[in-house]
Amino acid sequence: MRIGYFTDTYLPATHGVAVSIESFRHKLEAKGHEIYIYAPQSPGYVDKNSRVTRFKSLKIIENPELRYAFNLLPVKQSFLKLTNFKLDLVHAQTPFSLGVLAKIFAERQLIPLIYTHHTHYPEYAKAYFREKILLPHLAKVYSTWFANLCDGVIAPSLAIKKMLKGYGVKDKVPIYVLPTGICVEHFTKKVSAEAQLQLRHKLGIKPDAKVLISVGRIGKEKNFDFLLNAYREMRRLQPGLVLLLIGDGSYLPKLKENAKNLGISDSVIFTGLVPHDDIPKYYQMADLFLFASLTDTQGIVVLEAMAAGLPVVALKCDVFLDIIKSNHNGFLVNTASPRVFADKVLALLKTPKEYHQFVSAAVDTAKHFSEESVANRLISIYEEQLASFRAVGARK
């Protein structure tokens, strides 16, 4: 199959959407399919993949990590030539600018249009704009409108499927639950004790210190400030703990300032961006994975951490109900109370027998989300859509 991925977020961005696209692209191309990417131009970045088409774009002021693509202005070719390029199916990874182009492609070529709902758009609107009522409502209405234009919608979790149905996605539009897979072997492969000690030395962490880790793009909506407040409670109750935050983003300078103001900057380590190949070392060197974001539709890093053998303590979010099982592979904390969150973390660290049971359960959970099995399910969705489309002979 020749499949077009239309996205407003792609490399070099470290957003989960870009990670998801690359994960599926690699697996599908390995199986003989051709994946063509349509994404905003990123100044200074040169694509190694010849199947990437970029569009002139502008930085979004409210979130400088993202860019708005002008979908009628492809770089280095005409719009007409672009839309005449034959695809078998188009897969929109966004409902916005390049998602609209995906719709144009599908209608022009009479092929199926699939859409993945990657993001809690109302929650993002609340995080980045001062207006907290109208804009979130418009985000919900718009994303629902776009989903209803598609032949099929992919939700990364059952919770997102239920949310979309609640928004008003019509019954005639099938919603498939399909998470992004992870390369389980990449994270389960054991890192030597010596390598872990060397990493601790490099970061200035004592060999016997308990390390709490969180990984992700450092954006305001990711709720890292909650982790700082919870960590302050933990450190007060159990001195010697280290908080390791991996990732980069526009909110990083402010987050560092907040850590300093809380009086915890001496034991909070900000690594910035870490190469993906090195991430398993950081996971396996740590003791627990912490997660506080309420805007994620899946949380790929949660599965990565579990594959590396880390139990997870996270704020309760419906997205994680099928992944994090309290008293099994981690804890979902019902209340946004830093003290309650801290108590769960400390309770797990103080019970070695239970902790090791959680480690084993976390690894077992991650194995159900392998890239291979998830990619095969995506191919089945594509084939189902193509068969359905051919049966009726035109767009529904």
Task: Say which DSSP state 245 is in.
Answer: E
Superfamily the domain 184-368 falls into? Glycogen Phosphorylase B; (3.40.50.2000)
pLDDT value of position 72: 81
Question: What does the pLDDT average to over 340-354?
Answer: 96
Dihedral sign, CA of 143, 148, 154, 155?
positive
Please determine, for residue 377, whether its predicted confidence score (pLDDT) is greater than 70. Answer: yes
Q: Is the pLDDT of residue 191 over 90?
A: yes
Domain-by-domain residue ranges, the chain? 2-181+371-392, 184-368
Separation between Cα atoms, residue 18 and residue 22, nearest integer Å: 6
What pLDDT does 134 receive?
81
* pLDDT level of residue 14 (50, 70, 90 thresholds): confident
Mean pLDDT confidence for 66-90: 85
User: Residue 318 has what pLDDT?
Assistant: 87
For residue 163, pLDDT over 90 is answered with yes
Asked if domains 2-181+371-392 and 184-368 share a fold, the reply is: yes
- The span from the CA of 31 to the CA of 122, in Å, is 36
Alpha-carbon dihedral 269, 275, 277, 278, rounded to 10 degrees = -20
Mean predicted lDDT score pLDDT of the chain: 92
Closest CA to 378 of 11, 109, 21, 119: 21
For 107-139, the DSSP string reads HHHT--EEEE--B-HHHHHHHH-S--SHHHHHH
Q: Is the dihedral of CA 327, 158, 66, 2 positive or negative?
A: positive
Confidence of residue 169 (pLDDT cuts 50, 70, 90): very high
Q: What is the mean pLDDT of residues 31-36?
A: 98
Q: What amino acid is encoded at 206 in this protein? A: K
Instruction: Summarize pLDDT for 85-128 with one digit per residue, the tens.
Output: 999 999 999 999 999 999 999 999 999 999 999 977 666 666 66
Supply the pLDDT for residue 64: 65
Q: How confident is the model at residue 131 (pLDDT cuts 50, 70, 90)?
A: low
Q: Does the pLDDT at position 279 exceed 60?
A: yes
Report the pLDDT value the prediction gives residue 393, as an integer from 0 to 100: 62
Query: What backbone phi and psi angles, to 5 degrees, belong to 147?
Result: -60, -35
Q: What is the architecture, at CATH level 2, of domain 2-181+371-392?
A: 3-Layer(aba) Sandwich (3.40)
Query: Phi/psi at 106 (nearest 5 deg)?
Result: -60, -45
pLDDT at residue 394, rounded to an integer: 54
- What is the C-alpha to C-alpha distance for residues 188 and 353, in angstroms, rounded to an integer? 21
- Stated as kind and residue range, the H or E segment containing 174 is none
Choose among 148, 180, 122: nearest CA to 299.
Answer: 180
For residue 124, the model assigns a pLDDT of 61
Q: How would residue 189 be classed by pLDDT, with cut points 50, 70 and 90?
A: very high
Per-position DSSP letters for 320-349, written without gaps between them = GTTT--BTTTEEEESS--HHHHHHHHHHHH
The torsion region of residue 312 among left (phi > 0), alpha (psi -120 to 50) and beta comes to beta
Q: How many CB atoms lie within 10 A of CB 343?
A: 17
Question: For residue 392, is pLDDT > 80?
Answer: no
Q: How many helices (H) and strands (E) does the chain have?
A: 15, 14
Predicted confidence (pLDDT) per residue in 241-263, tens digit: 999 999 998 899 999 999 999 99
